[in-house]
């Protein structure tokens, strides 16, 4: 049976398995003939059963050593199937990408040192990953410089382990200060966040002078996408991007992780249209309620009024205000509240949504910052006047994102169930976390009315990937 899941070096490993199996079979036949066993080199039924039992890797003993794999391959004449299963097991246990290029003879050297409970020991796993090439800067080739920020420089690169493009975020280490807290925070969170709509951290490389984070490479961010289509997006694409944003956020929020810096530049998009949350440098795990958070989070245009007015007692609703602003920007082609200062930002918000009261924003009448600004009385505009492209469902869910009171602001999981997304079908709610919505038949990007060439046309300019700085 042909293996349908094999890494690029599977042909080489297959040849090795067949050669080793043939040699061992020949030796054993010769020994049996000399001993006059009379069995003609055939294996006793009990031994075949034992080999098959050894391949039940779900047992507590874990996977068998490589020599047993070869013996089972020889006796069952299913070298490709057994090799495929073994490669799958190694990939699973080491958390390797499916297209990894395993070094020559790597599997042959592996007897996979197991702990008493049948799992890989930590030392064995580290050694195995190091042998493959993880954690080594020479495993990656720098191609183009994408940008430079205060603490980091980002390069487009290529992995020699998989031949895939990657984004290399090279963070400069100061001898006195060490790694920036944002980098430490990003690494600690991304290692535990595995989702189709969250950017994947492939590798971490630490040297005396730098800390390099190796991410999957995506062609554009949402800001660039909107620029390329002249800020006139298909409403179908708006829904697809918005749903993916909510799907990634819902996954984070269920794990008590706040992103805290949502903006179009931090949402990356690949050629297929898959949208992924990126830049978790300001993100925070909120395992228990606390009042020690900073209010200097979220780019000004996407910052909720409670945070603008100094609140540090926030939770997952901080991200949902930003979702509403991004939703409006995709649908209407312009930022909703493009303020230049905190006071200007609040003016724009209150001018559109009305000046908050105790009913709409409890505690506002006693907020020192609010009283100091002395805002004039504004009456709320009808959302249909500022978002004419949205239908009734779109206007309804937009209003729920933009509630002054964070307690009643819609959650990501509830927003995904809103009737605004009914046209996507029920299957989008049944997917495993790691599976893209584009695997569902009929779900695909539409051509945007303002798109100059293709749905992900190249502008010829370096990608604006501020999310990585």
Catalytic residues: 261
Contact 308, 345 (CB under 8 A): yes
Please name the residues in contact with 8: beta carbons below 8 A apart, sequence gap of 6 or more.
Answer: 99, 101, 163
Q: What's the CA gap between 140 and 157, in Å, rounded?
A: 7
The pair phi, psi for residue 252, each rounded to 5°, is: -65, -50
Strand ordering across the sheet containing 267-269: 220-221, 267-269, 275-277
What residues does 284 pair with on adjacent strands?
A: 258
Contact 387, 331 (CB under 8 A): yes
Contact 375, 347 (CB under 8 A): yes
Picking from 229, 211, 242, 269, the residue whose alpha carbon sits closest to that of residue 326 is 242
Query: Other C-beta atoms within 10 Å of 103: how many?
Result: 13
On whether 169 is known to bind a ligand per the annotation, the reply is yes
Q: Token pair 């006071």 is at which residue? A: 343
Picking from 269, 283, 265, 99, the residue whose alpha carbon sits closest to that of residue 182 is 283
> In Å, what is the CA distance from 63 to each residue of 67, 105, 125, 164?
11, 18, 14, 29
Question: What is the helix (H) or strand (E) element at residue 268, kind and residue range?
Answer: strand 267-269
Alpha carbon 221 to chain centroid, angstroms: 14
Query: Other C-beta atoms within 10 Å of 104: how many?
Result: 11
Q: What's the CA gap between 240 and 420, in Å, rounded?
A: 11
Which residue numbers belong to the known binding site for ATP? 169
Which residue numbers belong to the known binding site? 169
């Amino acid at each position: 049976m042909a293996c349908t899941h094999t890494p690029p070096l599977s042909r080489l490993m297959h040849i090795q398995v067949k050669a080793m199996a043939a040699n061992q079979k020949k030796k054993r036949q010769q020994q049996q003939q000399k001993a006059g066993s009379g069995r003609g080199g055939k294996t006793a039924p009990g031994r075949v059963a034992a080999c098959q039992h050894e391949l039940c890797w779900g047992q507590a003993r874990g996977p068998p050593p490589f020599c047993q794999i070869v013996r089972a391959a020889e006796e069952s004449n299913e070298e490709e199937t057994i090799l495929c299963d073994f490669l799958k097991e190694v990939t699973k246990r080491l958390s390797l990408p499916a297209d990894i290029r395993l070094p020559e003879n790597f599997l042959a050297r592996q007897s996979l040192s197991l702990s008493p409970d049948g799992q890989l020991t930590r030392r064995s796993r580290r050694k195995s990953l190091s042998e493959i090439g993880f954690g080594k800067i020479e495993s990656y080739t720098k191609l183009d410089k994408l940008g430079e920020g205060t603490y980091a420089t980002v390069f487009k690169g290529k992995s020699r382990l998989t031949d895939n493009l990657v984004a290399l975020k090279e963070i400069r280490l100061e001898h006195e200060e060490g790694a920036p807290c944002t980098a430490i925070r990003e690494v600690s969170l991304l290692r535990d966040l595995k989702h189709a709509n969250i950017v994947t951290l492939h590798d971490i490389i630490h040297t005396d002078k730098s800390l390099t984070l190796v991410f999957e490479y995506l062609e554009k961010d949402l800001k660039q996408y909107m620029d390329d289509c002249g800020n006139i997006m298909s409403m179908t694409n708006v829904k697809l991007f918005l749903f993916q944003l909510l799907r990634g956020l819902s996954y984070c929020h269920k794990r008590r992780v706040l992103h805290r810096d949502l903006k179009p530049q931090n949402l990356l998009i690949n050629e297929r249209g898959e949208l992924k949350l990126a830049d978790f440098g300001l993100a925070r795990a909120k395992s228990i309620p606390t009042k020690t958070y900073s209010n200097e989070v979220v780019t000004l245009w996407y910052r909720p009024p409670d945070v603008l007015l100094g609140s540090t007692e926030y939770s997952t609703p901080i991200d949902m205000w930003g979702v509403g602003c991004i939703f409006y920007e995709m649908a209407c082609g312009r930022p909703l509240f493009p303020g230049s200062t905190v006071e200007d930002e609040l003016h724009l918000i209150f001018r559109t949504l009305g000046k908050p009261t105790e009913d709409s924003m409890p505690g506002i009448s006693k907020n020192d910052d609010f009283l100091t600004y002395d805002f004039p009385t504004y009456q709320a505009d009808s959302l249909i006047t500022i978002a004419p492209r949205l239908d009734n469902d779109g206007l309804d869910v937009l209003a729920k994102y933009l509630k002054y009171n964070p307690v009643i602001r819609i959650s990501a999981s509830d927003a995904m169930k809103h009737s605004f997304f009914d046209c996507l079908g029920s299957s989008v709610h049944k997917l495993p976390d790691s599976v893209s919505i584009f695997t569902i038949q009929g779900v695909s990007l539409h051509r945007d009315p303002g798109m100059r060439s293709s749905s992900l046309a190249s502008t010829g300019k370096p990608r604006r990937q501020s999310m990585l700085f």
